[in-house]
Amino acid sequence: MRLVGVEEEFLVIDCDHGRAVPLGEAIGRLNANEGLGSEMKQEQIETCTLPRRVLGEVARDITVRRASADAAARMVGARSVALATMPLPVSTTTTPGLRYELMMQRFGLTAAEQLTCGCHVHVEVESDEEGVAILDRIRIWLPALLAISANSPFWNGVDSGYASYRSQAWNRWPTAGPCEVFGSAAAYHREVQDTLSSGVPLDKGQIYFDARLSHRHPTIEVRVGDVCLFADDAVLLAGLVRGLAETAARQWRQGVTPVGTSAAQLRLASWQASRFGLDEELIHPLTGRPAPAIEVVLALVKHIEPVLRDQGELEAMETLLFQMLVRGTGATRQREIFSTSGSLTDVIADAVALSSLPCAALEELGQEGPSKSTV
């Protein structure tokens, strides 16, 4: 089983009024050795799990990291909240440092307004060649992952009309979004080098593809998701990404060619997922035509079912998915609270309470891996 790890970004908000406050650097210093760090904007922090093979251990790490982030925020009179955009209006504060200063100078309002929180899933790969083969074969499923994670309907004090407005704000970066099929590691690295040679991005850290080879770890990194309001949904996202990665690697070894959907078509599918989440239709990755969101999600699970079964995770993943489909995404929850109270402050307060809840599926996921015969 491949190692998997999860990075989650959180907003830092004032305890009394629910407004974003620039305390991320101070919080990061308090808890730097517990997988917690600051980000480009002082109004957010980031947590990282350890690389794990057992999904139950990922769930425990996510639960612990979320609680630690909130505890550290409390120490400076704030709270940590899993919202992918800030519902209330906010003026952001850039974290000190030459790189961030250069980003602000180069990218103007895009950088100034960039206060969004994502969930990035890393999955272990044996080589760059295998990693690129995986990227080429999972790309058509990434819009469905975006829809599942959607948790950012509000922006600058209003309902954006999107389930994931974070993805709309994020895609203003010039290197963000889907890629064409690469075909080989050499082609991938040429694309990255050509992008860097253009002089537009500052460095490799600004290669913001929806899914990329990590330049720091021997992993692929899937970056398309919003940070999830519920810890269980973050675990679901991690399990789906690992299932997709292993399925793609098996296809590559068997000589199955990737689906050749263009990046332009994938951008349309991502827009649809961003706009509606799971509430209406998605673009089906195998037909390129609209289909009910539930049909697309079930097609994703069917696609990776052999891997989930081999890894002993099928039942747990079905439980997590059913739970999410019944209660809705984070975007659904935010809008439900707002429709009841009419207050974005209440939306934020509700999200604070939900963000640190333990992963309900810990017992279902277990702490032991599958038997050796299934690995």
Q: How many whole angstroms separate alpha carbon 122 and alpha carbon 159?
A: 31
With contact defined as beta carbons under 8 Å apart, do 39 and 95 qualify?
yes
Where the chain has pLDDT below 50, the residues are: 367-375
Q: Which amino acid is at 7?
A: E
230: three-class secondary structure by DSSP? coil
Q: Which amino acid is at 325?
A: L
265: three-class secondary structure by DSSP? helix
With contact defined as beta carbons under 8 Å apart, do 369 and 59 qualify?
no
With contact defined as beta carbons under 8 Å apart, do 107 and 12 qualify?
no
- What are φ and ψ of residue 58, in 5° steps? -60, -45
Residue 271 CB partners (closer than 8 Å, separation 6+): none
Q: How many whole angstroms separate alpha carbon 121 and alpha carbon 220?
A: 8
Nearest 10 degrees: Cα torsion 323, 160, 47, 21: -130
Would you state the structure tokens that stand for residue 3, as one six-digit string? 């190692």
Q: How many whole angstroms separate alpha carbon 360 and alpha carbon 312?
A: 18
With contact defined as beta carbons under 8 Å apart, do 40 and 104 qualify?
no
- CB-neighbour burial class of residue 354 (10 A; exposed 0-12, middle 13-18, buried 19+): middle
Q: How many whole angstroms separate alpha carbon 126 and alpha carbon 321?
A: 29
Q: Which of 169, 4, 5 is nearest to 84 (CA)?
A: 169
Would you state the structure tokens that stand for residue 271, as one six-digit string? 């827009």
Instruction: Tell me which CATH code domain 4-359 carries.
Output: 3.30.590.20
With contact defined as beta carbons under 8 Å apart, do 120 and 223 qualify?
yes
Q: How many whole angstroms separate alpha carbon 311 and alpha carbon 323?
A: 21
Q: What is the pLDDT of residue 373?
A: 26
The residue whose two tokens read 């908000």 is 13
Give, rounded to a whole angstrom, the gap between the first and last alpha carbons of the chain.
6
Q: What is the pLDDT of residue 16?
A: 86
Would you state the structure tokens that stand for residue 351, as one six-digit string? 């999200």
Q: How many whole angstroms separate alpha carbon 313 and alpha carbon 332?
A: 26
Domain boundaries, given as residue ranges, for the chain? 4-359
9: three-class secondary structure by DSSP? strand
Q: What is the pLDDT of residue 371?
A: 32
Q: What is the pLDDT of residue 30?
A: 77
Would you state the structure tokens that stand for residue 225, as one six-digit string? 């998701």
With contact defined as beta carbons under 8 Å apart, do 129 and 204 qualify?
no
Q: How many whole angstroms separate alpha carbon 357 and alpha carbon 326?
A: 18
Contacts of 27-35 with CB under 8 Å at 24 or more apart are 27/69, 27/72, 27/73, 27/75, 27/76, 27/78, 27/80, 30/72, 30/75, 30/76, 31/68, 31/69, 31/71, 31/72, 34/65, 34/68, 34/72, 35/61, 35/65, 35/68
Supply the pTM of this predicted model: 0.94
